Structure 1
Amino acid sequence: MSALTLSDTSTWLPLDGLAPGFDANKAEPTADLTGRTVALVDERGTRIVHRFGADSVEWEYQPGDGDPIAASSGIDPYEAFEVDTGLYFAQFHHQHKPDEAVSLVIDLTNGRALSIIQAIGDQFPGNTAVRQLFVPSLIEGVETGGAEPAPTTALIGRRVMWVYSSEHAYEHVYLSPQWYSWQCLAGPEKGLADTDENSVWEIRPGIYVFTWREKVIPCASVTIADHRNVRAIRSHGVLFGLDESGTVPTHFTFGAYGRLLSNTVHPDPYDPAVPAPTAGAHAQDAGADTAR
């Protein structure tokens, strides 16, 4: 790809064009969930039962009060990855509804879970082609411990390099609660860069769910990464969106090895993690700075 085409988004690689070889650093899926039933209950009383087999998960969805989603059930192929002791990341793409995919973060040690539903279209609020819904819940029959999964600003200011294979490498710069920038360092997209929407949730201390929603290519991603050793970060992820034709849903898992390259610490008045002051307060602060 020549430098002349880098800003021409019509030449950017479609999601299905990225897949070959991109998953070389994917972890070996785990069979730890095989034979286990995991029932999740959220604050609305919505209950989802998952019965994990060797290769497929059978699920039943019973909505609680105020949940507009109708009761349903199904069976889908899945993959699961062990993130930490008792912590799993499971992925499945609905066969009955191919424009929807599910990522489950299951903490069997602390009895907590986070479901991330990705949907193509306008099922959820947002402006991107693929949108995401986050639902924390408790696991029935497991004693609750630790902190509830929650949005976090802990990654803001970090610049991390991610290596997905011997040929694919990217860097991420986490800018704010809403935005991050990426640049391809190696691979078929080398030289491409953009800024897209992101969401970050803390699952355990130092372990984060990081998701993004692209505006150029109709796709989104859910990843979970262990940042406790910033020289040897490990992530597991899934990409979901539309193929080159713009009509066929594409879903594949991957993994990466990461390393912290730098960390920017903003002075308090300019910290992107801090909500913007009101117009009046900003004017007062500016005046005070001028007076000094």
Structure 2
Amino acid sequence: MTQSQRVEVGVRVDAADQSQWKTYDDFAAGIDAYRLPGADLTGQTVELRFDGGTELRLRFLDAATVRWTSAQLLSAADGTVDPYDAVRVRDDVVFVNLPFASRDGEALTVVWSRTTGRALLAHSVIAPEKTEGVPQVGQTFAAGEVAGIVVTGARPGPTRDLVGMRNVYRYSPSHLYEHVYLSSERYAWQCLQGEQRGHGDVDLSTLWKFADGLYLFCFREFVIPVASVWLHDLGYELRTTGIFLGINAEGSADHRRAGGHIYPLGAVRYPDVQPV
């Protein structure tokens, strides 16, 4: 082995030291370069009902502001005004995220279909204090329906469809990540290109099937205080749309948009005993 080879190996080993990891700000910058274009929902009103009795009314005031009303989610009586961003991941399916400005450290992500009337909700919340061995950003999920639409198709819910799958995700010219979906509860990732190159981990994840080829994928990291919500289109488009909620280097809650292209590498199938 040459001296240059020994140095390169040493660099790669050092890069895996979690005390030297980049911050949330570092890796999230520019991760929305290949995101699908935003959608303007001005003038639209959507009413949704979710499991557990949660009701949510969204009235889109303009291209960036929504008045949302939900007693269960503790809005003001006449609704709370917050920013939103929306993406049409398919002609009839909308991905909407509310990076709350009205309260600190929370985001509400909603997906619905105008065709099937199905909906789902992901609520991401930063815990006030870090607990050892527990991701600081937690998430809850609920399936639901759009009021006024005849509901068809399967109800969104947890799935094992992605277990064993291995994909590469290109978010920008300088963001390339690999995911391996290990089980219904965890996934492995590594950065192939970008600020986190050489870093990787196994983190908690949630997988739901929303519709044929459309999957909700969410992760909650142990090392960096960040969680994410993605909608993977594994049909013909092979695109993903997502958001991050985390704590930046200054210690403040930070919302980021993300998105990109999916490149499937393959999948494994277990012959008998299955992962959890």
Please say whether Structure 1 and Structure 2 have the same fold, judged by a TM-score greater than 0.5.
Answer: yes
**CA distances 1:35-56 after superposition (whole Å, capped 9, x unpaired):** 1111111233332110013211
CA–CA distance in structure 2, aligned partners of residues 249 and 164 of structure 1: 22
Q: Which residue of 2 aligns with 1:154?
A: 161
Q: Which residue of 2 aligns with 1:44?
A: 52
Question: How far 1:211 moved relative to its partner?
Answer: 0.4
Question: How far 1:6 moved relative to its partner?
Answer: 2.0
**CA distances 1:202-238 after superposition (whole Å, capped 9, x unpaired):** 0101110000000000000000011124xx5100010
Q: Which residue of 2 aligns with 1:115?
A: 121
Q: Select which of 229, 233, 237 maps to 2:238.
A: 233
Q: Does 1:93 align with 2:102?
A: no
Find the residue that maps to 1:62 and give its secondary structure: coil
- Are the aligned partners of 1:122 and 1:131 in contact in 2 as well (CA < 8 Å)? no
Q: After the TM superposition, which of the residue ranges 35-44 and 50-59 deviates more from structure 2?
A: 35-44
Gap regions ≥5 residues in structure 1: 64-68, 276-292
CA–CA distance in structure 2, aligned partners of residues 150 and 129 of structure 1: 24
CA–CA distance in structure 1, aligned partners of residues 274 and 205 of structure 2: 17
Q: Select which of 264, 271, 274 maps to 1:271.
A: 274
Question: How far 1:71 moved relative to its partner?
Answer: 5.2
Q: Which residue of 2 aligns with 1:214?
A: 221
- Structure 1's 21 and 44: CA in aligned 2 closer, same or farther, altered over 3 A? closer
Q: How does 1:1-292 map to 2 (within 5 A)?
A: 2-31=11-40, 33-53=41-61, 54-63=63-72, 70=74, 72=76, 73-121=79-127, 127-229=134-236, 233-245=238-250, 247-268=251-272, 270-272=273-275, 275=276
**CA distances 1:45-71 after superposition (whole Å, capped 9, x unpaired):** 3321100132111011123xxxxx545
Q: Which residue of 2 aligns with 1:287?
A: none
Q: After the TM superposition, which of the residue ranges 255-264 and 213-222 deviates more from structure 2?
A: 255-264
CA–CA distance in structure 1, aligned partners of residues 54 and 98 of structure 2: 19
**CA distances 1:238-265 after superposition (whole Å, capped 9, x unpaired):** 01110013x2001011111011112111
**CA distances 1:158-208 after superposition (whole Å, capped 9, x unpaired):** 110000111110000000001100011111111111100000000101110
- Are the aligned partners of 2:207 and 2:216 in contact in 1 as well (CA < 8 Å)? yes
CA–CA distance in structure 2, aligned partners of residues 23 and 138 of structure 1: 29
Matched positions, count: 261
- Are the aligned partners of 2:82 and 2:99 in contact in 1 as well (CA < 8 Å)? yes
- Structure 1's 254 and 174: CA in aligned 2 closer, same or farther, altered over 3 A? same
Q: Which residue of 1 aligns with 2:5?
A: none
- Are the aligned partners of 2:31 and 2:257 in contact in 1 as well (CA < 8 Å)? no
CA–CA distance in structure 2, aligned partners of residues 38 and 240 of structure 1: 24
Question: How far 1:136 moved relative to its partner?
Answer: 1.2
CA–CA distance in structure 2, aligned partners of residues 135 and 170 of structure 1: 28
Give the TM-score taking structure 1 as reference length.
0.85
CA–CA distance in structure 2, aligned partners of residues 109 and 222 of structure 1: 22
Find the residue that maps to 1:18 and give its secondary structure: helix
Give the TM-score taking structure 2 as reference length.
0.90
Give me the identity figure in percent: 34
**CA distances 1:91-131 after superposition (whole Å, capped 9, x unpaired):** 111112121101111112111211100000179xx931000
Find the residue that maps to 2:172 and give its secondary structure: coil
Question: How far 1:85 moved relative to its partner?
Answer: 2.3
CA–CA distance in structure 1, aligned partners of residues 50 and 124 of structure 2: 18
- Are the aligned partners of 1:39 and 1:140 in contact in 2 as well (CA < 8 Å)? yes
Tell me which structure has the larger Cα radius of gyration: 1
- Are the aligned partners of 1:214 and 1:220 in contact in 2 as well (CA < 8 Å)? yes
Q: Which residue of 2 aligns with 1:281?
A: none
Question: How far 1:151 moved relative to its partner?
Answer: 0.4
CA–CA distance in structure 2, aligned partners of residues 120 and 44 of structure 1: 22
